[in-house]
Amino acid sequence: MPADRFSTATRLKALGEQAAARVYRARRPRRSRLTGRAALLALVTCSLVVALAWPIKQYVSQRSDIAAQRRKAEHAARMLNELRDQKARWQDPAYVKQQARRQLHYVMPGETGYIVQDGSGDAPAKRTPRAARRPWYETLWAGAHEPGRTHEPGRR
């Protein structure tokens, strides 16, 4: 009876192997995912991308150039308007007199012109005599050595 005991296990194993063989035979063999049509589609897509890359780059570049030229034209139009306004102002004799008085310090006949030098104006400040007595290299060294401080001549 020991042979009967293993016969069921042996039969089950044989039945399992037969069932597995039927299942594997029933499956269709796997086809490759890359078929001829898929390869052709990929080739056409890649060629379209390559063929259209340069024109699209040129299109984008030209659009940015057009935008830059438009900005330049708008700036030139603004400058033209400002210059026209300035020209119109210079046509007015009162404006010319005002500018002559302000920039050239002209005075009308009979007037006395004064220039006040209190340091509040936009005239350049006079150099101090002490700075004129010092050699240039001492001034340079003092400014480089201790910024913000000036040294008197003879002191180190």
- Show pLDDT as tens, one digit a residue, over the chain (156 residues): 455 556 777 888 888 888 888 777 766 666 667 788 888 999 999 999 999 999 999 999 999 999 999 999 999 999 999 999 999 999 999 999 999 988 888 998 998 888 888 776 565 656 555 555 778 778 888 877 665 555 455 554
Contacts 24+ apart (CB under 8 A), 21-27: none
In the block, tokens 């005991």 appear at 5
- Are 130 and 153 in contact, with CB atoms under 8 Å apart? yes
Q: What size, in residues, is the chain?
A: 156
